[in-house]
Structure 1
Amino acid sequence: MERRSLLRAAVLGGTTAALGGTLWRGAAYAAPAQPGAGPYGALGSPDANGIRLPSGFTSRVIARSGQQVGSTSYTWHNAPDGGACYADGTGWIYVSNSEINPSGGASAVKFSSTGTITGAYRILSNTRQNCAGGKTPWNTWLSCEEVSLGYVYETDPWGTNAAVQRAAMGRFKHEAAAADPVRKVVYLTEDETNGRFYRFVPTTWGDLGSGKLQVMVAGSATSGSFTWADVPDPDGSPTATRSQVSGSKSFNGGEGCHYANDTVWFTTKGDNRVWQVNPQNNTYELA
């Protein structure tokens, strides 16, 4: 989620999407998590939508699975998961994955500058269990299949261009993707109990059709230095990508991934950890 470009804070839960009314100003800090007050003040009682918000915030339901989106004729998908927002003139577009198998895919909702829904449509179909993914600097959405030998699909939030399967980014149980415009790579997490942390180095930045898939090589400690090694067979068959490089570091259930301030953060659900990767000096640590 890009702090400066997101037009509205988004709250997603279950099969409902709700939008608040102010700019996102969050940041990640490399320090032990401690309970404390949020930057917007104390949370109030649950509102009519069951959401607890600070003073000055409001929420509204914009879409519900199996029902039409606003006054459009589009039916919202089941199991909405990872997503992102895109500036669109004076309004914006919200993209959301569908984490169901089969079908999956991704949909989009278009808003005017006042937050009025002006359209809803499909941008990816006939895929499997699309969980997370990531936004690219050239304003496409990478939708990732969280299944064995899953693909990454590059999609158009405006729904003008057809989605494209990006096989060069590897076939494995994909979770999230985070673009690094400094090194011109895309980081990828893998949702397996012995998953790996990858990066994709495209032949040409801005074109994900070809390039090298690399995996992090490091020791078993929770901090230290690392190197990148090419994955010989990104197709992942007959040998899974996570098992192809000796010494590649194992992570217990890779989940969300985010790049900002020349740092990469990603989470692992199996051990409830947040990892910090420092690509400028090739070190990693617990955040």
Structure 2
Amino acid sequence: MGGIGRRGFLRGAVVGGGAVAVSGGLWQAAAGAVPAQPGAGPYGGPAGADANGVRLPAGFTSRVVARSMQAVGGTGYVWHAAPDGGACFPDGEGWIYVSNSEVPVVGGASAVRFAADGSITGAYRILNLTQVNCAGGATPWGTWLSCEEYDLGMVYETDPKGVNAAKSRPAMGRFKHEAAAADPVRKVVYLTEDQTDGCFYRFLPTTWGDLSKGTLEVLVGTGPGPVTWQKVPNPQLWLTPTRNQVAGALRFTGGEGCHYAGDVCYFTTKGDNRVWAYDAATSVLEIAYDDDLVTTGTAPLTGVDNITGTSGGDLYVAEDGGDLQINVITREGVVTPFLQLEGHTGSEITGPAFSPDGSRLYFSSQRGTTGVVLGTGGVTFEVTGPFRS
């Protein structure tokens, strides 16, 4: 079909004919389910902006955790520019939030440590002198995979506590990496690629828990429906880019965020404004959200980017542009705005991640209110409230 770019075909196949169910997590487990549709969310819509310029539902509050090029409160550590992908990790009775820096040459990643009451107890560097660190993902063994977004970019495995030195993982491929998500059941790591004709990959380490060796595979098929995987012949040193080494590899228009839960890997593509759902148990690829497949009202989610989820099965999708919102796609199949930033029109929302207990949501405005390309005005936020489990 040339596959997945032909929206007219997909509208007829998914909406007119009834979608193939996406199993493993959200509403798609019900037969005949269609991609998420607008509706009322579990918290009500965002109210007026608070003192931090964040519009939130009733019962939720925000605070600023860090600002680019300024010391993180009480630590003396200067927060990096252009904060991007992030994740949270348990740390005794507290937790750690890590964040990438999407700038050339000195990108890397930093971390903020929190006590059990949410107070900041430290901030520090966990990765140095890497380039354009965009998104990434957490591993089940407690490390952060920081992904470089350029043609020969690599994945770096880092220690959120800042104790162990970061290590490059070239076996995971050299390409324009975006995000990663670990699947502990099949013992693989899924990877997105931010190219207009990019691919979706999985890495099978020789030994689970050791990413230094293994096999990189690419998703192959003709569009939504059954798919297979094929080995990428030369993932590290190549004359032909990884995305062009396997005939029949599925193409995606700008791979972005990636999140695994309950046998399903959800990933976003910005060129067609979609959230995809790969059911790893059945090897079926389907569409969880597409603004062109909204059948009633106005599509609330545009400019899809980073994605995360809750233990209860809700997805939270950040916007790059759009209305500068984080939208929730509920487990009931409703897509609706959760929060919105005011005065950040030249920015994008990045790095959404929940604290280990699910009570706090962290995210950044990469360029803040200044809109400066290198992100020197970036702001990292925390939202606290009655998130449902």
> Is 1:196–1:242's contact at 8 Å kept on the other side of the alignment?
yes
Query: 1:56, CA displacement in angstroms?
Result: 1.7
**Residue deviations 1:164-200 (CA, integer Å, cap 9, x gap):** 0000000000000000000000000000000000000
Alignment gaps of 5+ in structure 2? 1-24, 29-33, 289-389
CA distance in 2, matches of 1:28, 1:64: 35
Match of 1:76 in 2: 79
Larger displacement relative to structure 2 (62-71 or 51-60): 51-60
Residue number among 127, 130, 139 corresponding to 2:133 in the alignment: 130
Match of 2:55 in 1: 52
Alignment gaps of 5+ in structure 1? 1-26
> Is 1:149–1:236's contact at 8 Å kept on the other side of the alignment?
no
Secondary structure at the counterpart of residue 162 of structure 1: coil
Match of 1:274 in 2: 275
Letter in 2 for 1:110: R
Letter in 1 for 2:71: Q
Match of 1:261 in 2: 262
Superposition pairs for residues 153-172 of structure 1, below 5 Å? 153-172=156-175
Superposition pairs for residues 19-58 of structure 1, below 5 Å? 29-30=27-28, 31-58=34-61
> Is 1:252–1:268's contact at 8 Å kept on the other side of the alignment?
yes
CA distance in 1, matches of 2:27, 2:85: 22
**Residue deviations 1:40-83 (CA, integer Å, cap 9, x gap):** 23322100001011222111111000000001110000000000
> Is 1:168–1:209's contact at 8 Å kept on the other side of the alignment?
yes
Letter in 1 for 2:256: E
CA distance in 2, matches of 1:224, 1:110: 43
Match of 2:246 in 1: 245
> Is 1:150–1:174's contact at 8 Å kept on the other side of the alignment?
yes
> Is 1:172–1:236's contact at 8 Å kept on the other side of the alignment?
no
Query: 1:28, CA displacement in angstroms?
Result: 5.3
- 1:209 equivalent to 2:212? Answer yes
Query: 1:29, CA displacement in angstroms?
Result: 4.5
Secondary structure at the counterpart of residue 55 of structure 2: coil
CA distance in 2, matches of 1:125, 1:36: 44
> Is 1:105–1:127's contact at 8 Å kept on the other side of the alignment?
yes
Residue number among 137, 141, 146 corresponding to 1:143 in the alignment: 146
Match of 1:21 in 2: none
Query: 1:280, CA displacement in angstroms?
Result: 1.1
**Residue deviations 1:117-147 (CA, integer Å, cap 9, x gap):** 1000000010000000000000100000001
Q: Between the two proteins, what is the percent identity of the paired residues? A: 66
Query: 1:155, CA displacement in angstroms?
Result: 0.3
Give the TM-score taking structure 1 as reference length: 0.88
Secondary structure at the counterpart of residue 122 of structure 2: strand
- 1:200 equivalent to 2:190? Answer no
Runs of 4+ in structure 1 deviating by more than 3 angstroms, as ranges, are 27-31
**CA separation of 1:28/1:153 partners in 2, compared to 1, >3 Å: closer, same or farther?**
farther
Secondary structure at the counterpart of residue 131 of structure 1: strand
Secondary structure at the counterpart of residue 83 of structure 1: strand
CA distance in 2, matches of 1:29, 1:238: 43
Secondary structure at the counterpart of residue 62 of structure 1: strand
Structure that is richer in helix per residue? 2
Larger displacement relative to structure 2 (234-243 or 75-84): 234-243
Larger RCO (alpha carbons 8 Å, 6+ apart): 2
Match of 2:306 in 1: none
Match of 1:230 in 2: 231
Aligned length: 259
- 1:88 equivalent to 2:91? Answer yes
Q: Give the RMSD, CA atoms, in angstroms.
A: 1.2
